[in-house]
Structure 1
Amino acid sequence: MNPIIDGYYADPEIRRYGDDYWLFATTSCARGQQVHFDAFHSRDLRQWVKVSHVLDISDFSWVHRALWAPSQFEWHGRYFVVFACNDIQSDQEQGGLGLAVADRPEGPYHDYLGHPLIGNFINGAQPIDPHVYVENDRVYLYYGGWQHCNLAQFNDDLTGFVPMADGSLFREITPAGYVEAPCMIHKDGTYYFMWSEGVWSAAGYQVVYAKAHALEGPFVAQAVILKGDERVAEAPGHHCVVQDPQSGEWQIIYHRRPVGETDSTKRILCMDRLRFDQDGNILPVVMS
């Protein structure tokens, strides 16, 4: 039943820790009021328990507003969140991507570095919308707005980054049409890279995907897989994907707005099936 959570939230990221799913999200309101993150956990992806204020700007001396797009993950027994903050518009402003740490999934999360993880524009990418991808005991970061996406590999203690295979610390992997909100999954030997196109506050916001044989691409858009439906909702996007280990089914969790809603911050979190055809292509998502 959609929405899956009460209240206005956006930009979800989901992880499975043991038997529990943990969902972090942006508190969808005016940027000046986005000063904390809530989290939600579930055993069955249906009944969710809210944990309020798992991360708050009061623990970050350099953060003053606009917390959004948290991407949480476990590393060596501790729990981390990469997040966007301050909505910087140039290298002359302080902010960008922050990194927080906790001893438990529910936090509380504290400033890990004491400064931004990425605090400037690299390859034209505004430092927003992080998505962490873990594979083969390595931690990768996809991120970027303003129609540019970068890929970087963390060092082992997560204090910075190590060069990619081509020698770059930040490799631009932007596919044509990309705007923001990267997401990566790996299935049956194929990397599925997804992103959002359009303007988040407009009805036409949507999700597109590409396939590749390597996590750095190259990525060429295949198709739109999630778009508005005037009978259901508009502006669906900035999603995450999770697979149920028992059933093998894939789910897409995303935000959307009721049709005709004029307040762009009135976004809700929803979940629907993500299906693949026999050739491994992602089928269009039917919003429920």
Structure 2
Amino acid sequence: MERLQKIGLNFSATVLLTAAAFFPANAGNPIIANQGVNDPHIRIFDGKAYLYASHDKSARNETFVMEDWQVWSSDDLVNWTLQSTLHPDQTYLRAQPDFTSAWATDVAEKGGRYYWFFSEANRQTGVVVGDSPVGPWRDALGKPLLTEDLTPTHEYDPGLYSEGDDRFIIFGVWDYYLARLGEDMISLAEEPRKMDIRGARGPYTFTTGTPFDGKLTDDKPFLHKHGDLYYLSWGAFYATSKNLYGPYDYRGAVITEASFPTGLSQPTWPTGPQQGRHGSFFTWHGQTYFAYCDISQSGNRYFRDTFISYVHYRSDGSIAPIRVDLTGVGEYRASSGPIEAEEFFANSGFSKRERADASNGFDVVLDGAAGELTFPNIGGLGGKDTIVLDMKGAPALPFKLSISRKGASAPIASHQLEGANRWRIPLGALGDSESLIIRLKREGQGELALDRIGFE
């Protein structure tokens, strides 16, 4: 949730709100169109993706009107189903019948139970408990867990982080505080610690003399780990550390001018397209994603959508700028050109690797003897019958390639190849949409790196 509600101009909404119900919603980005689903935190439980989100009430909003929190689920990041809604009167907020500040939220699992933390505007944080990722929910405390007098910051925008048997909560604006949760998950096991971020930046450029001078970060803190680095992010910006409690060093932003190859940088928030990007990182099937707020479709900062983009880590631990587009993730459009291999949906046996050239791109490299990559929902294949594989370099070693439809027992193509960096493999007539699995098996020594795939 964006705390500075009165900065700059409002944009009029250009979309109509349709009623949310228990039905699938799908189509690229935004992942759930015209529903006001925002502040996304996506968690993977038992092989399914769950989106815990805030909910802007109407495309006609002229301020933040958020009356409930929602849980959506997906098996493929393309098709989403509304599973449950948490209303303020199901929590300690029942004493406020006109409550419209159901701000950002996140969830953590422990011991087979699910703990859903929610913001009471920019003041306090409560928690409800359920026996499944979608509830039903009960308020185990009957009062806030994080009270407004707990720390010098504002106790809202909770982010949850899990490591081993421990669960941590991070929260705040301008300054962030981190605390380990108690074994019961509804208490704190320690005093919250202020996070030190060296060289922090954010979407704001306050001048000297404002109340926020020197506090250039934002709200919406989130923690995740990749390799041996912890990543503390606030919206589009992030810092890294080798220690969970820091100190953290500012590294940059995942959204830059390079993030908009097909447009979508306008309309935006008053300080530009890096503002208002409340988001979360998650990893599934070997792929990492960033889910975040966007207003390019509504034009209204008070009626936001959720976008998802692929995340690629460079060798130095920094994150390459994400691509913000309408295609989204988990589906592909053959008519838009080749598919970058690193944008797989599922991966077994491969690693991403940053290219050494000036392209700023990535390849996928076979780690062991065999591996497979899954690319579901490839659209626009009608009239095409050949797959084109671009390898990085020209591997001299022999390797075996097979291509299968997802769920099929036999491949539609199987070949032994060597000595070239581009292969055109006949597949036979393809349907307009296909879900394909590419398998590579090493039969000699040397490197196997796949750059991209296309169709003719």
After superposition, the C-alpha distances for 1:67-104 in whole angstroms (9 at most, x for unaligned) are 1211012111111101101443xxxxxxx100101111
Determine helix, strand or coil for the equivalent of 1:58.
Answer: helix
Please give the alpha-carbon distance, in whole angstroms, between the structure 1 residues aligned to 2:137 and 2:121: 18
1:11 aligns with 2:39: yes
Work out which of the residue numbers 324, 330, 338 in structure 2 matches 1:287: 324
2:247 alignment partner in structure 1: 218
Please give the alpha-carbon distance, in whole angstroms, between the structure 2 residues aligned to 1:20 and 1:275: 22
Higher RCO (CA-CA < 8 Å; seq separation 6+): 1
Question: 1:62 Cα deviation (Å)?
Answer: 3.3
Q: How does 1:37-76 map to 2 (within 5 A)?
A: 37-53=69-85, 55-62=86-93, 64=96, 65=99, 66-76=101-111
2:161 alignment partner in structure 1: 133
1:97 aligns with 2:125: yes
> Aligned pairs, how many?
261
Q: Which amino acid aligns with 2:316?
A: D
Question: 1:40 Cα deviation (Å)?
Answer: 0.8
- Structure 1 residues 180 and 33: alpha-carbon distance in aligned structure 2, compared to 1, 3 A threshold: closer
2:233 alignment partner in structure 1: 194
- Structure 1 residues 156 and 32: alpha-carbon distance in aligned structure 2, compared to 1, 3 A threshold: same
Tell whether the 8 Å contact from 2:54 to 2:103 is kept in structure 1 after alignment.
Answer: yes
1:151 alignment partner in structure 2: 178
1:179 aligns with 2:218: yes
Tell whether the 8 Å contact from 1:23 to 1:41 is kept in structure 2 after alignment.
Answer: yes
Please give the alpha-carbon distance, in whole angstroms, between the structure 2 residues aligned to 1:135 and 1:265: 35
Identity of aligned residues (%): 24
1:111 alignment partner in structure 2: 139
1:255 aligns with 2:255: no
Determine helix, strand or coil for the equivalent of 2:76.
Answer: coil
Please give the alpha-carbon distance, in whole angstroms, between the structure 1 residues aligned to 2:171 and 2:278: 12
After superposition, the C-alpha distances for 1:102-137 in whole angstroms (9 at most, x for unaligned) are 111111211121110011244421111000101020
Please give the alpha-carbon distance, in whole angstroms, between the structure 2 residues aligned to 1:38 and 1:123: 28
Determine helix, strand or coil for the equivalent of 2:89.
Answer: helix
Query: Gaps spanning 5+ residues in structure 1: where?
Result: 89-95, 164-168, 197-206
After superposition, the C-alpha distances for 1:175-199 in whole angstroms (9 at most, x for unaligned) are 2332211111111111111113xxx
1:77 aligns with 2:112: yes
2:366 alignment partner in structure 1: none
Please give the alpha-carbon distance, in whole angstroms, between the structure 1 residues aligned to 2:102 and 2:323: 30
Question: 1:280 Cα deviation (Å)?
Answer: 2.1
Q: How does 1:224-235 map to 2 (within 5 A)?
A: 224-227=253-256, 229=260, 231-233=263-265, 234=268, 235=273
1:242 aligns with 2:265: no
Tell whether the 8 Å contact from 1:123 to 1:148 is kept in structure 2 after alignment.
Answer: no
- Structure 1 residues 50 and 216: alpha-carbon distance in aligned structure 2, compared to 1, 3 A threshold: same
Runs of 4 or more, structure 1, over 4 Å off, are 30-33, 227-230
CA RMSD of aligned residues (A): 2.0
Q: Which amino acid aligns with 1:171?
A: R
Determine helix, strand or coil for the equivalent of 1:265.
Answer: coil
2:29 alignment partner in structure 1: 2
Please give the alpha-carbon distance, in whole angstroms, between the structure 1 residues aligned to 2:178 and 2:103: 19
Please give the alpha-carbon distance, in whole angstroms, between the structure 2 residues aligned to 1:260 and 1:183: 25
Please give the alpha-carbon distance, in whole angstroms, between the structure 2 residues aligned to 1:109 and 1:150: 26
Please give the alpha-carbon distance, in whole angstroms, between the structure 1 residues aligned to 2:256 and 2:105: 23
Please give the alpha-carbon distance, in whole angstroms, between the structure 1 residues aligned to 2:145 and 2:68: 18
- Structure 1 residues 232 and 32: alpha-carbon distance in aligned structure 2, compared to 1, 3 A threshold: closer
Tell whether the 8 Å contact from 1:150 to 1:174 is kept in structure 2 after alignment.
Answer: no
Please give the alpha-carbon distance, in whole angstroms, between the structure 2 residues aligned to 1:260 and 1:100: 31
Tell whether the 8 Å contact from 1:24 to 1:40 is kept in structure 2 after alignment.
Answer: yes
Question: 1:174 Cα deviation (Å)?
Answer: 4.5
Please give the alpha-carbon distance, in whole angstroms, between the structure 2 residues aligned to 1:185 and 1:130: 13
Q: Which amino acid aligns with 1:22?
A: Y
Query: Gaps spanning 5+ residues in structure 2: where?
Result: 1-27, 201-215, 326-456
After superposition, the C-alpha distances for 1:201-222 in whole angstroms (9 at most, x for unaligned) are xxxxxx1111110111111211
Q: Which has the larger radius of gyration?
A: 2
Question: 1:35 Cα deviation (Å)?
Answer: 2.5
TM-score by length of 1: 0.84
Determine helix, strand or coil for the equivalent of 1:149.
Answer: strand
Please give the alpha-carbon distance, in whole angstroms, between the structure 2 residues aligned to 1:24 and 1:260: 21
1:160 aligns with 2:198: no
- Structure 1 residues 286 and 132: alpha-carbon distance in aligned structure 2, compared to 1, 3 A threshold: same
Please give the alpha-carbon distance, in whole angstroms, between the structure 2 residues aligned to 1:173 and 1:110: 31
Q: Which amino acid aligns with 2:320?
A: L
